[in-house]
Amino acid sequence: MAAYENAIEIKGLTKHFDGFTLDNISFTVPKGSIMGFIGQNGAGKSTTINSLLGIIKADSGEMKMLGMDSIKDENTIKRDISAVFDELPFHEQLNAKMLDKMLAHIYSTWNSDTFFGYLKRFALPEKKKFAKFSKGMKMKLQIAAALSHGAKLLIMDEATTGLDPVVRSEILDIFMEYLQDENNSILMSSHITSDLEKIADSVTFIDRGKILISGYKDDILASHGIMKCTKEDYSAVSREDFISARVTDFGAELLVSDRKAYAKKYSGAVIDNATLDDIMIYYVNRNKKEWK
Amino acid sequence: MKGLMYKEWFLSKKYRVITLSIYVLMLIMCILVRISSVCGNIANMEGKGMLNDTFFIIMGLALPAVLCGMSFTSQTLNDEKCRFRQYSHTLPLTEKQIVGSLYIFNLIMLGIYMLAGWLNYFLACAVFGKDIDLKYLLYIFIIGILFFTVCCFNTLNAYRFRSPKICAAIIASTCIIAYHGLAGAFVYLMYSYCKDRGYDLFADDSDEEVPDALIIDFNEDLSRCLRWTGTHFCWLIVLAVAALIYFSFRRSVRALERRGS
């Protein structure tokens, strides 16, 4: 495998559906990092991931994974990547032993010991049919399968959605362990931003098929802020200076994208830290500009 | 590819158990009927009644063949239902390997069912003390292959339309069209045959009834004609079946290559 800097490189990805267009998406996931891919439901996260994985065909654009072209070198790439979906993609009549036998003959690098090690760690039964698994067990099983063939890139589509905080925390720990190897990378789509705030190195925010922000999480959190002011002060703020504003009877809260500059411009204004959740909500309402 | 065949093997367990149970039940019934005919008062074992050895053999073969076919189609639709089809695109496998594994697995299973069908026939013959008639082995083979061909067609539809309802509608309409087409062809042949000999089957003013002998002659001629075709052009039939299976395979691969939306 050739040396590469970015685990994922997407340039100008476009996919048109009736009523939805993934519009010229571009972003990169640096090797050895975890990227959070956030956006509300229907923003285009799954479409991007499915295009990347070859589940759907993109209309145009260039995609590279592990330094190779995702279409030309599809089969080579797929030996070294793993996908985890929000729902278990295995038949409910199967059990973990059967799955091991099946995947051992699909992946040349499959390691049964690792797989059964994860099963033991997650307390998953080997002979119980998947139909009888809970949602958390199914997700753990998918992760166990994904990490048992030495994948260099893990792509997850809403993998932690619907799980309780205990299971989510357990899974996030596994990801942190996985990232101990600097050759491993993760792209994780989710709308549970608190998880990403904990573990993500970088964040890409997509809305209505367009990338709005992409960069290092710390930089994004450092540059954005929530400016709190009274209604009178709010009326004095130029509309170009904020992304959107939440106006209530008590005052207004504005999301600003360059905290330092606005602190200087509006001296005396209180600018609090913004969370990824805040950033997502304020950006989603950017067209309304003002909302309650 | 081997991995996917393992998956099919695990998933077809239910059908294998049902098939095996049918064979065992058939054999038990053969034995019970034989015992009754020897020790009891059942006298319909000489091929005239419905409860003869042919009935057992055909039932013992047709049911497993139907089950084999159901398993073949349901595998494709189940992949779609549980999103394994989506997942399979993330595995280091080509579309040919994904579809090929399903076809090869079912061909192997068909072979096993055929062998089991032959074994069932041998055992039935042994129970009834009859000589083995090789034509039954051929019947078993032909029924199996015909079922496999129909299933290939249905699997192609399953890959293409991804909906059990559409698959069922297509296969049902194909069967209805084929049935009426064959029935129509048969009636037309009979009509032409009788007309050539001076009898009009559909004439309203005709008082003359078509003699039974003519109908018998027609049936004999038709059988002779079919036998002749089978003897001289059986390679053509084999070729047509092989072509149909290959066509279904290619189209299934193409349907999978389209990737979903």
How far is Cα B32 from Cα B21, in angstroms, rounded to an integer? 16
Task: Say how many domains are in chain B.
Answer: 1
Least confident of A53-57, A91-95, A167-171, A207-211: A167-171
Run of H or E including B88? helix B84-88
pLDDT of the residue at B206 = 59
B93 touches chain A (CB under 8 A): yes
pLDDT digits (tens, 9 = 90+) for A223-245: 999 988 888 888 888 888 888 88
* Token digits of residue B59: 């039932």
Mean pLDDT of chain B: 80
Q: Is residue B239 part of a domain?
A: yes
Nearest to B91 by CA among B4, B26, B212: B4
Q: Is residue B180 part of a domain?
A: no
Contact (Cβ atoms closer than 8 angstroms) between residue A52 and residue A10: yes
Distance of CA A65 to the CA centre of its chain: 16
Q: List the structure tokens of B28.
A: 């038990």
Assess if residue B179 is contained within a domain: no
> Is pLDDT of A23 > 80?
yes
Percentage of residues of chain A with pLDDT beyond 90: 49
In a domain, B186, yes or no: no
B78 touches chain A (CB under 8 A): yes
pLDDT for the residue numbered A51: 92
pLDDT digits (tens, 9 = 90+) for B66-102: 777 777 777 777 888 888 888 999 999 999 999 999 8
Beginning with the edge strand found earlier in the chain, give each strand of the sheet holding A225-229 in spatial order: A270-273, A225-229, A251-256, A245-248, A290-291
Note whether residue B206 is domain-resident: no
Residue-wise pLDDT tens digits, A57-89 = 889 999 999 999 988 888 899 999 999 998 899
Which two structure tokens, joined as six digits, stand for A102?
Answer: 């099946």
Checking if the pLDDT of A1 tops 80, the result is no
A273-284 pLDDT per residue, tens: 999 989 988 988
Answer whether residue B229 shows pLDDT above 60: yes
Question: For residue A266, which amino acid is it?
Answer: Y
pLDDT value at residue A143: 92
Q: Over range B228-254, report the average pLDDT.
A: 87
* pLDDT value for A5: 85
A53 has pLDDT over 80:
yes
Q: What is the DSSP string of A78-136?
A: HHSEEEE-SS--S-TT--HHHHHHHHHTT-TT--HHHHHHHHHHTT--SSS-GGG--HH
- The alpha-carbon radius of gyration of chain B (Å, integer) is 23
Segment A205-230 shows an average pLDDT of: 90
Across the interface, whether the CB atoms of A107 and B10 are under 8 A apart is answered: no
C-alpha to C-alpha distance for A185 and A199, rounded to whole angstroms: 12
**Residue B106 placed within a domain:** yes
- Whether residue B87 is contained in a domain is answered as yes
Mutant choice from B12, B15, B87, B257 vs A, greatest count of A C-beta within 10 A: B87
For B5-42, write each residue's pLDDT tens digit. 999 899 888 888 887 887 788 778 777 877 777 776 65
Torsion angle in degrees (nearest 10) through CA of B125, B128, B131, B135: -50
Q: How confident is the model at residue A48 (pLDDT cuts 50, 70, 90)?
A: very high
Cα B247 from chain centre: 18
Name chain B contacts of A15, Cβ cutoff 8 Å: none
Of A92, A101, A107, the CB nearest to B6: A101
B83/A85 Cβ within 8 A: yes
Taking the C-alpha atoms of residue B58 and residue B67, their distance in angstroms, rounded to an integer, is 14
Is the pTM of the predicted complex or chain greater than 0.95? Answer: no
- Please enumerate, as own/partner, the contacts of B35-38 that have beta carbons within 8 Å and a separation of 24 or more: none
Q: Does B180 touch chain A (CB under 8 A)?
A: no
Instruction: Using an 8 Å CB-CB cutoff, list chain A residues near B90.
Output: 53-55, 78, 81-83
Per-residue tokens: A228:
């709190």
Q: Which domain holds residue B70?
A: 2-162+211-259
Q: Which residues pair with A271 in a beta bridge?
A: A227
Phi/psi at A206 (nearest 5 deg)?
A: -115, 140
Residue B248 burial (CB < 10 Å; 0-12/13-18/19+)?
A: buried
Q: What's the token pair of residue B134?
A: 């090789």
Tell me the pairing of strands A245-248 and A251-256.
antiparallel
What does the pLDDT look like over A141-178, one tens digit per residue?
A: 999 999 999 999 999 998 887 788 888 888 888 899 99
Q: Which of A55, A76, A79 lies at the smallest CB-CB distance from B259? A: A55
B11 token code pair: 């998933």
What is the percentage of chain B residues whose pLDDT exceeds 90? 10
Q: What are the strands of the beta sheet with A210-216, ordered from one edge? A: A81-84, A153-157, A185-190, A34-38, A202-207, A210-216
Give the residue from A66, A156, A110, A223 showing the smallest Cα distance to B3: A110
Among B80, B90, B97, B101, the residue to mutate for chain A (most A Cβ within 10 A): B90
Proportion of chain B above pLDDT 70, given as a percent: 85
Q: How far apart are CA A30 and CA A43, in angstroms?
A: 23
User: Quick check: B54 pLDDT over 70?
Assistant: no
Instruction: Report yes or no on B196 lying in a domain.
Output: no
CA angle B103, B109, B111 (to 5 degrees): 105
Rounded distance between C-alpha atoms, residue A201 and residue B128, angstroms: 77
Query: In terms of C-beta density within 10 A (0-12 exposed, 13-18 middle, 19 or more buried), how is residue A63 classed?
Result: buried
Nearest-angstrom CA–CA distance, A222 and B10: 53
pLDDT of residue B260: 61
Rounded distance between C-alpha atoms, residue B199 and residue B222, angstroms: 18
Contacts of A116 (CB under 8 A, 6+ apart): A100, A126
And the tokens for A186? 């993760």
Residues of B in contact with A55 (CB under 8 A): 86, 89-90, 259-260
